[in-house]
Amino acid sequence: MTEKTIYLPIVFHFHQPVDNFTSVLEDCYNKAYEPLIENLYNFPKIKAGLHFSGNLLEWFIESKPEFVQKLKLMAKRGQIELIGGGFYEPIYAIIPYRDRIAQMKKLTALIKKEFNLNVNGAWLSERVWEPNYPSFLSDAGLKYVIVDDNHFRSCGLSEEDTLYSYSTEDEGKSVRVFPINEPLRYLTPWKPTTHSIEYLKKWANEKGDRIALLIDDAEKLGVWATTHVLCYKEGHWEGDNGKPFIPAFFEQIENKSWIKSITLSEYIKQFPAKNLLYLPTSSYDKMEEWVLPTQTRKEFEIVKKAMKEDENWKKALKFLRGGFWRYFLVKYPESNNMHKKMLYVREKLVQIENDLSKLPKFQYSTKIKAKIEKAWDEIYKAQCNDSYWHGMFGGVYLSFLRFSIYTHLINAEKIIDELMPIIYPILKSYITCVPIDFNKKTRMELLVESNDLNLYIDPFDGGTIFELDYKPKSYNLLNTLTRWCEAYHDEDKIKNDEIMIDRFKRAMIRLRFLRKDVPLSQLQADKYIEFGNFAEGDFKVTKNEKFGTSTVIELEKEGSVKDTDSNDEIPCSITKKVEVEENNVIITIQGEFKENEENGNVLKRIIEGILIGIDVPFFFNGEPKEFQWICYEMELKTDEEKDLLRPFEYEGTYFKAYDKTYDLNFELMSSSNTEPLKICKFPIIAYAYTDEGYKRIYQGINTTFLVGLAKNFTFNLIMKIY
């Protein structure tokens, strides 16, 4: 009787976001990367596919030569294959076709150079799949791709059906697709190795063509929770007698002749695809839940739980679909801003590239070509997926990752600025104000750009500033994150302000009308009563002019302000004027109430009882303990008073903050034709769920200037960055 067998390809995925802290890399190396590869090296009969993000592989090459040497020895003896993909782990769906190919070829080239290995397969960042993928994967020279078995279930395939590979195509270009085995992924390393062996035994067959693809994040095998001890020091006692999971698992495979260790490339050579298959747009099931709007996600989780508990509906669970990955760009406007900035800067680089190609060859030097390549690499780094979404990991909530995106994009812009004079020799310095549908909502934002600053205005979100880049330091001072309501937030904690939720996106010069007696705590929690209708909505652009090295933009809105004691409203017109010159931004806000014989008393109560608040949030990326701030109106004596992140309010006109890490100053000087003039500051702290549990994560500092009203009122603010 023929022995029943099954193929077990193992793939380990090693990833770190671009610009993650070296201390994090070292911790992961010591707890997971080095012991995992050491164990694999000690079991030469165990074959594995390894996928490294390009930036992490570069770090290994530069910092861990002994680790790389071990990989080379395993490659030489045919034990491992290296799997390709996008160099900086982009989500392919949201980057242009050219960039997909370039990122894949960049990683393929590095693998070929360092290990002399051909790359046949692709790793999908976050297992995000869209039906047009086969075209560019094929064009990148790849033969197979690894996808989540969730994708296959949505086609109606059974668990048995996912024990094979399939062929799929787009535009006639084919690739092989391998489903990741979910049961094995959940068994390792959380259950004794005997559980995985029993699962494989269940599906082994006499034909011997089945394949159960085990994929694990390398970080999962040593960094997550207690897995370092579980995998390399003391494992499960039931079934494994306490032997560490990784060597116990490799030993089990090596000792079972019916388990065939194989790489995916080897499997392709031996077996054809089971059938043709077309996969829908998909990711792994949890991602499809995380991407849903908050209220919808709550409802989805209730439905899913009910179906799991109902025997009549359990079989239909595989057809229950959540959202799809691109909706993160809608759910989090900050993600959309980063993405659209990437596309915008990229388009500027393409234009420069095209213009330079028209120059005589002697002018298009090797030096210029190197600058262009450097700018492209900065853009590719800004396509790293981690900061664009949020689920089990911090993602968009991790401000240093967002800062990294902006830093690389501003770096690319600075290179473009260096190349511009080659095309336009008379251009030494510049300032422009371009109306453009930046956010792709069919509405025009205004983008002010110069050698020193980028300042982006959204007339349709309360006439606010949503990006402020100081280019000399590649620093976006508006890398803030709004305190969004999440499905995992406890409603009682929201009620008692343990979790604070914002009504509006955190942006500069948003206007608020509130009672004079509103305490700082209510302003910080965004729970005050709003009496105006200027905080959001459309402002009309009435001026967009350039004068030499400066530009002036004016926005207007006709609205109203409510009485504090009745439902009466007084019409009010607001004008916002934004002037940009060098490293200065000058803001002027003027308001005029429409008084008549009938509303005089109402207007009087409004003027006596209401203040206008002007928001000026900003973000510092340095070490918070070294943030400093000063005000001229009072001397800061205690450490508590000197703490920039401590909520504080004072009557005054001047505020200055300093990020010592980056040697960056942000100075605010204000004046008004009314009294009082008060400055309130508080930290923007988001409450997010991460791989380390619930965390309060710093997202910036908010300053609000509170100004008295008059029939005609004027507020002036000078922002200086240096």
Tell which residue, 509, 406, 533, has the closest CA to residue 459. Answer: 509
- Catalytic residue, chosen from 81, 89, 99, 126, is 126
- Catalytic residue, chosen from 169, 217, 251, 353, is 217
Residues in the chain: 722
Burial of 132 per CB tally in 10 Å (0-12, 13-18, 19+):
middle
Between the alpha carbon of residue 321 and those of residues 125, 288, 488, the distances in Å are 20, 7, 20
Burial of 150 per CB tally in 10 Å (0-12, 13-18, 19+):
buried
Dihedral (CA of 473, 477, 478, 482) sign = positive
CB 489 within 8 A of CB 497: no
Write the DSSP symbol of residue 655: E
Classify 103 as helix, strand or coil: helix
Residues in contact with 190: Cβ distance below 8 Å, sequence separation at least 6, in sequence order: none
Tell which residue, 351, 354, 411, has the closest CA to residue 377. Answer: 411
Rounded Cα gap, residues 636 and 641, in angstroms:
6
Examine the residue annotation and report whether 126 is marked as an active-site residue of this protein. yes
Residue 665: strand pairing partners: 658
Tell which residue, 56, 57, 53, has the closest CA to residue 122. Answer: 53
Residue 62: strand pairing partners: none
Look-up of token digits 């003039």: 677
Residue 177: strand pairing partners: 145, 166
DSSP letters for 203-236? H-BSS---B-BEEEEGGGTTTSTTHHHHHHT---
Rounded Cα gap, residues 540 and 128, in angstroms:
40
Between the alpha carbon of residue 292 and those of residues 127, 301, 331, 539, the distances in Å are 17, 11, 8, 30
Rg (CA), the chain: 29
Tell which residue, 177, 187, 186, has the closest CA to residue 151. Answer: 177
Examine the residue annotation and report whether 691 is marked as an active-site residue of this protein. no
Tell which residue, 396, 465, 497, has the closest CA to residue 615. Answer: 465
Cα 520 from chain centroid (whole Å)? 31
Between the alpha carbon of residue 652 and those of residues 193, 559, 634, the distances in Å are 67, 28, 9
Name residue 508's amino acid: M
Tokens describing residue 371: 């600058």
| Strand residues in 19-117 grouped as ranges (E) | 48-52, 80-83
Active site residues: 126, 217
